[in-house]
Structure 1
């Protein structure tokens, strides 16, 4: 193993240890707020999976920052999540869901670090719109009667 490979390996382990140590800060593990051992076990499992996902996001954003050769403020995990949360769908007059606005340059850079681009977002938005339309039509058919009978 070369020195640079060893450094990358060490930093990866160091980041994992820091991540688990800081678990209480960003996941809310400071207070458990559960009533049973099973609930506690489930909460720890979900926290563990969330830490794995967060670490993966961190590593992908870090690689993007290295490729860009400059430190960008929006390439931290909290900032990237805040930026991506701005991508939203709204229901228009014809009851079809569409993206509220175009994907910004910052969002495109963040998405590219995950191997996605604007067309992926647009395609997924169209798929979600179709699913929501089908679900809405199904829910409208299944609405319960209010107890009144129709009089002819």
Structure 2
């Protein structure tokens, strides 16, 4: 209903799935309004089930549900470890290497879970359901932010941060200025790493003299 209220009076053809729950009205190719199919909605509500959560501590229903879901997500996350972290087989030569790999995967799971939580929160705040706010899509989009080497040896962003990338960065509390600052710092680090040791010593001496 919220989505349909936004497009009233506009030329717009709603997908067929809306017609299952609503009677849609159009006038000269413009969306005019809608009416609930109460019999359909009531029939589906009758098929809905109920569940109860018993807690040992006093808390509200939303608090209990959030706690349950967080633990359920943790179990599913470790269950899906084999899927997106390649944990079906360890492919290591020693128990020490296996322990190191498991530890790294555990840290990776924590990071991935945090990314997923922030993206899901951002997605809930936005109208519609943008498909680029899933973990794989968001990471793939952010990988497009690259540095290129200029003829003078300096490094700069290959292109400006796109609107989609700004939305994803916003979910993490970051913005375009943060990206630019990081790009400048990384560029300086790359230049310093490629600089001959003699020149580094000269630059350090010049900085000390200025200080």
TM surpasses 0.5: yes
1:61 and 2:119 equivalent? yes
- For residue 19 of structure 1, what is the aligned residue in structure 2? 77
1:109 and 2:167 equivalent? yes
Structure 2: segments with no counterpart, 5+ residues: 1-58, 200-211
More strand by share: 2
Cα drift, residue 67 of structure 1: 1.3
Residue in structure 2 matching 1:138, options 190, 196, 199: 196
- For residue 128 of structure 1, what is the aligned residue in structure 2? 186
Structure 1: segments with no counterpart, 5+ residues: 142-152
Q: Residue 120 of structure 1: SS of its match in structure 2?
A: helix
Deviations 1:105-140 (A, max 9, x none): 110000000000000000000011111111111379
Larger relative contact order (C-alpha < 8 A, sep ≥ 6)?
1
- For residue 144 of structure 1, what is the aligned residue in structure 2? none
Q: Map of 1:23-42 to 2, 5 A cutoff?
A: 23-42=81-100
Figure out how many residues of one structure are paired with residues of the other and give that number.
Answer: 142
Would you identify which runs of 4 or more consecutive aligned residues in structure 1 move more than 2 Å? 138-141
What's the Cα RMSD here?
A: 1.6
TM-score by length of 1: 0.88
Deviations 1:48-101 (A, max 9, x none): 000000000000001101111432101110110000000000101111110000
